[in-house]
Structure 1
Amino acid sequence: MKLDLEVSERIDFGSGDHRQLIREAADKSIQSQSGERYTPSSSAGPLETQEKPRPKDTEQSNTYVVEISDDVTPGDSNATLGNPFSDAFVRRAFIIKVFLLLSVQLLLTAVITGVFIFWEALKVWVLKNPWFIYAIFPAFFAVLIILACCGNLRRQVPANYILLGFFTALQGLLLGAISVFYKAEEVLWATAATTLVTLALTLFALQTKWDFTLLNGALFVFCFVLLIYGIILIFVRSYWLHLLYAGLGTVLFSLYLVMDVQLMLGGHHHYSLDPEEYVFAALNIYLDIINLFIFILRLIGLGR
C-alpha cells in the first residue's frame, strides 16, 4: 500500500503525530474509491487544533510527501532474511551435516565393496551369474529418480535417511559387483587415487575464487555427449577409444565434484543449495566420487 501525504505544517515524527496523518489519508483513499465524501475522524487528536491563518505572502508553507510501502528497501536489515546462507551458523551446520552423511555413505560403500573383493566364494558367484548386476540396475535407478525428483519426500525425516541408506546399499552392491572384474590391487590403487583427487579438488573448491556453479549447463551437455560416446563403445572394440572415454569421464566428474562442493558452500557463488537439501547435496557429491572412482579404476585396468 502506498499513500501520498501533503502536509502544510512541520511534524515531529518522533512524537507519533504522523500516524494520525496516515490514518486520515487511508480513510480518505478508501472513501474516495467508494464515492463517499471524506469527513475527518472524531479522534483527530492534536493535529485538529485550529490555528490562526498565516499570511501567504509572509511565510511559504512547507510541503512534505511521505511514501509508505510494504516493499523492503535495499538497506533494510531484513532483506537478507530471504537468503538461507545469510546466517553463517546455518551454513556451517548444513556443511557439517552433508559431510557426516557423505562419510557414512562412503564407509558403507567401502565395506560392501571390500566384501565382494576379498570373499572369493562371492567373487566367483558374481562372475558366474552376471544377471546379478542387471538385477540391481532397476532398483538403483528407481531410488535415484525418487531422490532426485521428489523434493518434498527428500526433505521428510526419516524417509529421506531411509531412501539415502537404501540407495547407498544398492550403489555398494553395484560397485562391488563391478569390482570383481578387476584385481584387488587395482581396486586399492583406484581407491587411493580417488581419495587423493577428492581431497585435492575439495580443497580447491573451498579456496578458489572461480565460480564453477555457472558451468552446470555446460557440464550437463558434456555428460550427455559422454553417455552417447559410451553407448557407441559397446559396439566398438578399440583400446584408445576406451582409454579416451575413461579420461574424459575422469575430467567430467572432477569438474562436477568441484561444482557440487561450491553449490553446498553457497556464499559468494552464483548458485547455492537450500539448507534443507542436505540429502540432495550429499547425494550429488557421493555420486561424483563414485563415478570418479569407476573411471579411475577403468584407467588403471586399461593400463595393466
Structure 2
Amino acid sequence: MDNLQTKGPRLVNPGASGLNSFFLRVYSYMGMALLVTAATVFIGVTMFAQQILALTTGLVPTLILFALLFGISWMANRSAMKNPARSFGLLMAYSVIMGLFFTSILLYMTPQTIILAFITTAALFMGMALYGVTTKRDMSKMGTILFGAVFALVIGMLLNIFIGGTVLYMLISWAGVLVFAIITAYDMNRLKQMYLQVAGDHHAEQGVAVYGALNLYLDFINLFIYILRIFGMSSNSN
C-alpha cells in the first residue's frame, strides 16, 4: 500500500518471460517469509508456548509488538530500492515476530480450523492475485479508497475492543476479508506496472521484488487472520 516510487525507462514490451521470472522471484521471497513464520509457530507451539503467551499477553506487550512490526515494515519498504538485501533481512525478521504473534493465537484454535482457514486463504489469495496481474484495468486510482478502508477497519477493531459483540466482530471480519482481497489484486496490478518501469535494471528489479514480497506477505497474513476469525467464531458456535 505504500507509494514506493521507482525510476528507470518504461518498457512497452519487456517480454512475458521477464515478467514471469520477476513474479517467480517475488513469490519465492514471499514463500520464504511464510515458511519462516510457520517454522516459528511450530517451534513456539511445541517448545515455548508458555513463554510466548507471557510475552504477548496484555495490552502493553501487544502494543509493543505491533509497534515493532510497524517499524520493521516501514524500514523494509524504505530500504527496498536502495538496499534490497537489507530489506530482505528485515522481511525475515518481520516473519519471525509475526510467528510469535500467531503462536499466541493458534494455541486456542483447533487444527481443523487452522487448516481450513489456510486453504481458504490460499485459494482466495491466488484468485485475486491472478486477477490483479491479468486484468487490463488500471487499479492505481483505488489506492486512496483502499487506504481509507484499512483505516476504517482499524477504527472498527478499536470499537470492538470497547463495545464488543458477536455481530460487530463478524462484520469487521468479513469486511477485512473483502478489503484485503481487493488489496491483493491492487498490489499485484501495481507490481506489474512497477516491473515494466524498471525491467532491465537488475538492482531495481531486485528492490521491487523484495518490496512486492513484503506487501503480498502482509496481504496473505491479513487475509488469513480475518478468515481465521470467521472460522474460529463458527467453530465456537458449533
Whether the 8 Å CA contact 1:116–1:122 is kept in 2: the answer is yes
Partner SS, residue 158 of structure 1: helix
Matched, 1:161 2:92: no
Amino acid of the structure 2 residue aligned with 1:170: I
**Match 1:91 to one of 16, 19, 23:** 19
Classify 1:301/1:160 alpha carbon distance in 2 versus 1 (closer, same or farther; 3 Å).
Answer: same
Amino acid of the structure 2 residue aligned with 1:292: L
**Match 2:150 to one of 206, 219, 223:** 223
Corresponding residue of 1:11: none
Classify 1:102/1:288 alpha carbon distance in 2 versus 1 (closer, same or farther; 3 Å).
Answer: same
Q: Shift of the alpha carbon at 1:144?
A: 1.3
Query: How far, CA to CA, are the matches of 2:130 and 2:97 in structure 1?
Result: 29
Matched, 1:303 2:237: no
**What are the ranges of 5 or more consecutive residues in structure 1 without an aligned counterpart?**
1-80
**What are the ranges of 5 or more consecutive residues in structure 2 without an aligned counterpart?**
1-7
Matched, 1:232 2:159: yes
Matched, 1:144 2:73: yes
Amino acid of the structure 2 residue aligned with 1:299: I
Whether the 8 Å CA contact 1:126–1:177 is kept in 2: the answer is yes
Deviations 1:197-239 (A, max 9, x none): 1122222223333333321111111111111111111001210
Query: How far, CA to CA, are the matches of 2:12 and 2:97 in structure 1?
Result: 33
Amino acid of the structure 2 residue aligned with 1:184: P
Amino acid of the structure 2 residue aligned with 1:254: A
Equivalent positions of 1:1-304 (< 5 A) are 82-83=9-10, 86-88=13-15, 90-117=18-45, 119=46, 122-127=48-53, 130=57, 133-148=62-77, 150-151=78-79, 154-266=81-193, 275=205, 276-304=207-235
Q: Percent identity?
A: 22
Classify 1:158/1:208 alpha carbon distance in 2 versus 1 (closer, same or farther; 3 Å).
Answer: closer
Query: How far, CA to CA, are the matches of 1:166 and 1:127 in structure 2?
Result: 19
Query: How far, CA to CA, are the matches of 1:294 and 1:136 in structure 2?
Result: 16
Whether the 8 Å CA contact 1:264–1:281 is kept in 2: the answer is yes
Whether the 8 Å CA contact 1:143–1:167 is kept in 2: the answer is yes
Amino acid of the structure 2 residue aligned with 1:296: I
Query: How far, CA to CA, are the matches of 2:213 and 2:43 in structure 1?
Result: 24
Deviations 1:110-138 (A, max 9, x none): 22223344x2x533444455156555333
More contact order relative to length (CA 8 Å, sep ≥ 6): 2
TM-score by length of 1: 0.64
* Larger helix percent: 2
Deviations 1:19-61 (A, max 9, x none): xxxxxxxxxxxxxxxxxxxxxxxxxxxxxxxxxxxxxxxxxxx
Partner SS, residue 132 of structure 2: helix
Query: How far, CA to CA, are the matches of 2:173 and 2:63 in structure 1?
Result: 22
Partner SS, residue 222 of structure 2: helix
Whether the 8 Å CA contact 1:116–1:180 is kept in 2: the answer is no
Q: Shift of the alpha carbon at 1:155?
A: 3.1
Whether the 8 Å CA contact 1:85–1:267 is kept in 2: the answer is no
Query: How far, CA to CA, are the matches of 2:63 and 2:43 in structure 1?
Result: 19
Query: How far, CA to CA, are the matches of 1:106 and 1:268 in structure 2?
Result: 23
TM-score by length of 2: 0.80
Partner SS, residue 82 of structure 1: coil
Partner SS, residue 284 of structure 1: helix
Classify 1:299/1:272 alpha carbon distance in 2 versus 1 (closer, same or farther; 3 Å).
Answer: farther
Whether the 8 Å CA contact 1:253–1:288 is kept in 2: the answer is yes
* Larger displacement relative to structure 2 (233-242 or 186-195): 186-195
